C-alpha cells in the first residue's frame, strides 16, 4: 500500500478501538466494488435517505468518477479487508459554493458508538482546512434524528429546513435539514 498525504496526515494509518484493528486510507477508484458491497450491506433504515443511491452500480460508478477527478475526497475505514465506513467531502471549484464542502459519514452498525464517526469527521475537517474551505455542510432528512445529533456533537448547527425537498426510496417526500460548521473556527 502506498502512503498518501493530505495536510499533516499520512495515509494509510491504523488504530485499535475496542479490540478492533482499523485502517483509514484515502479511497481510490479501485475501491468501487468495496463501496458497493459496503453500501448494500447497510440496514434498510440507513438507505432510506441516501442523497445518491450508492446501492446501484451506476451510481457508484459516477461517485467514483468524482473521486478520480478530486471533486470528492473520501477516507475509508476497513478492517480485515472489509470496508466498514467512509467519510467524504464533496467540493466543486467551479460552483458559486466553491467555499463550501459537503460532508457525509456512513458507518457499519458494528462501528457505531465507538468514536469512529468522530475520527472520520476529524479527517474530513483536516481535508477541508487544507483545501481552504470556509464551511462544511451536512444535509439530512428531518427524520434522521440520530444523524443530526452526531453532527451537533461535532459542532454543526442547523441553518435551513427545506420542506418536501427529498424523496425516499418509497416515493415519499421529506423535509431536508441543512447543517453547517465553520472551518475557519478550527484550531
Give domain limits for the chain. Answer: 4-134
Per-residue pLDDT reduced to its tens digit, 50-81: 788 899 999 999 999 999 999 999 999 999 99
pTM value is 0.86
> CB–CB of 82/33 below 8 Å?
no
SS3 98: coil
User: Which candidate, 167, 164, 12, places its Cα nearest to that of 76?
Assistant: 12
- Average pLDDT estimate for 34-41: 96
pLDDT band, very low/low/confident/very high, at 2 (cuts 50, 70, 90): very low
User: Which candidate, 185, 170, 182, places its Cα nearest to that of 44?
Assistant: 170
Q: Which CATH superfamily is domain 4-134 in?
A: Gcn5-related N-acetyltransferase (GNAT) (3.40.630.30)
Give exposure, 19-56, as e/b (b: 16+ Cβ within 10 Å): eeebbbbbbeeebbebbbebbeebeeebebbbeeebbe
Instruction: Give residue for cell 462544511.
Output: 136
Amino acid at each position: 500500500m502506498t502512503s498518501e498525504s493530505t495536510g499533516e496526515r499520512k495515509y494509510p494509518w491504523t488504530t485499535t478501538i475496542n479490540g478492533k484493528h482499523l485502517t483509514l486510507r484515502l479511497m481510490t477508484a479501485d475501491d468501487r466494488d468495496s463501496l458497493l458491497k459496503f453500501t448494500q450491506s447497510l440496514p434498510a433504515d440507513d438507505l432510506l435517505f441516501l442523497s445518491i443511491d450508492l446501492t446501484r452500480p451506476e451510481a457508484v460508478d459516477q461517485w467514483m468518477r468524482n473521486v478520480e477527478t478530486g471533486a470528492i475526497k473520501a477516507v475509508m475505514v476497513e478492517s480485515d479487508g472489509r470496508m466498514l465506513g467512509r467519510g467524504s467531502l464533496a467540493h466543486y471549484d467551479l460552483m458559486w459554493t466553491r467555499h463550501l464542502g459537503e460532508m457525509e459519514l456512513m458507518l457499519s452498525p458494528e462501528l457505531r458508538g465507538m468514536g469512529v464517526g468522530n475520527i472520520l469527521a476529524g479527517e474530513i475537517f483536516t481535508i477541508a482546512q487544507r483545501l481552504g474551505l470556509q464551511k462544511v455542510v451536512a444535509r439530512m432528512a428531518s427524520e434522521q434524528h440520530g444523524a443530526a445529533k452526531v453532527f451537533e456533537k461535532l459542532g454543526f448547527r442547523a441553518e435551513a429546513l427545506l420542506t418536501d425537498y427529498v424523496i425516499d426510496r418509497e416515493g415519499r417526500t421529506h423535509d431536508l435539514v441543512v447543517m453547517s460548521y465553520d472551518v475557519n473556527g478550527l484550531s
